[in-house]
Chain A
Amino acid sequence: MRYGFLDEDAKKEIRRATLKAIAIPGYQVSFASRELPIARGWGTGGLQVTLAIINEEDCLKVIDQGCDGSVNAVNIRNFIVSVTDNQTTLDTVCADIIQSRHRIPEEPMREGQTLVLQVPYPEVLTNVEADSYKQKVMHANSDYAKLWVLLYEDTAQFGDSRIGHRYPVMVHDRYAMDPSPIPKYDTKKLNNNKALILLGAGREKKIYAIPPYTKVEPLKFEDREFKVESFANKKCARCGASGVFMDEVHTNEGEVKFYCNDTAYCDKQLEKGAR
């Protein structure tokens, strides 16, 4: 099988979309989106991006919900390795390409790294406008009034937006963008990130990007605080870390425990502690 599974023309098309996406931060570029031997909705957008950009020298990390060992992460990593024979890592710092679903790693990323996020709903306007042509017109006019109305209605009723994850962001003061289903805790990491962030939606056939050092801000009213998930006074029951995004686990004994969601980060903390 050829390196990276996809034929060269498919890669060229994805690369072209990727370059245009980098040039117009937050704008969704359409692409043909090939079917892969992995089901639609399981990360095929991110996977196509990864397969189109990866080369022999890249070290790869794949995570799902913060975990390298999750079944879907294992499956995607195994598939990529089977078609590239590339080196893989669990360490955020060592990776050149990180493909992730629903999380941005705890450890800061650096210049030259690429974060590929899997996206189920690339269109930030879906919840307020179902028609894709009208969505495109709204983006063309930078007309996000309907999003603001939604935010206003939620705030009036519940004191804040009801959106828990995939919180809308404004990119480079121009495009409203769906940042993929990351928690609000990760939203602030999009701003001025040193790594290139590529977002791929396979089923919806869209690629978009945030170049390094790009202004990315959550859509919010000026007089309202952007509340992120808080795990105040919680410590990881495994490594003792605090101030990170945590998983809430209900044990068989009925206890509630908290663990670092980023398992590679947790391993590192544990190792540091042991030393």
Chain B
Amino acid sequence: MNNMDLEQLNRQNFKSLSDALAMPGKITKIKSVFDSHLLAVANLLFFNEVTYYYSGDEDITLIEAITNPKITTIQEADYILSDVIDTRLILEAKKGDYLNPDFSATLIFKCEDFNSYSHLLSGPGIDGKKEVNLPCNKKFIDVLMKKNSDYPLGVEIFFINSIGELIALSRTTKVEVR
């Protein structure tokens, strides 16, 4: 692990994650852990009191051993990580209740790049409207918009591309497909 300071990486990566969520559509950078950007995010978010579900091929065992979260089902998970963009995960993720809308899932999707489709974003964190490229199609956006239609209930989505760039959609973000 040649002197890798995981806590220091977490500090830096947290800034990227919170900036991305506070300003949906803004691209920030994640520094990798064990050569993986997804594992870096897992290492940042996982701890004793949270649950997760992972669908993918990366070796998450070491991060799990270090951070000690609980593995659970898609329906129960605080964090849902996936190597591919899958609307089923959004459909099944928990979205909180009116008393505790924060008891809801955050989804983290890996993708190759963001250059698939152009979308128009608006909502908190966005100065008016903002055009961004996202790796998801109209069907995905329809599912997400439906999931997040009962605000304050909903989910947050992060996309990480192959070069460690991060982009987020908050539950308050309105997305129009261009």
Q: Which residues of A contact B (CB under 8 A)?
A: 2-4, 8-9, 11-13, 15-25, 27, 29, 52-57, 111-112, 136-137, 140-141, 172, 174-175, 194, 196, 209, 211-215
Contact = CB atoms under 8 A, between A and B. Distances in A.
Interface of B: 7-8, 10-12, 14-15, 17-19, 21-23, 44-50, 78, 97-99, 101-102, 104, 106, 124-128, 151-152, 154, 156, 170-172
A94 B28 CA distance: 21
A209 B124 CA distance: 11
A55 B15 contact: yes
B125 to A, nearest CB: 4
B124 A27 contact: no
Contacts of A175: 152
25 contacts: A3-B7, A3-B8, A12-B10, A15-B14, A16-B45, A17-B102, A19-B21, A20-B102, A22-B125, A22-B170, A23-B156, A23-B172, A24-B152, A27-B152, A52-B14, A53-B18, A111-B23, A140-B99, A172-B124, A172-B172, A196-B22, A212-B124, A212-B127, A213-B23, A214-B124
Given A15-B14, A27-B152, 11 more contacts: A3-B7, A15-B18, A15-B45, A16-B47, A20-B104, A55-B8, A55-B12, A111-B23, A140-B98, A196-B18, A212-B23
Contacts of A19: 17-18, 21, 106, 156
Interface-centre pick from A21, A22, A54 (highest chain B CB count, 10 A): A22
Contact of B21 (A23, A54, A215): A23
A24 B127 CA distance: 17
Given A15-B14, A23-B156, A9 B47 contact: yes
Contacts of B102: 17, 20-21, 23-24, 27, 29
Contacts of A12: 10, 44-47
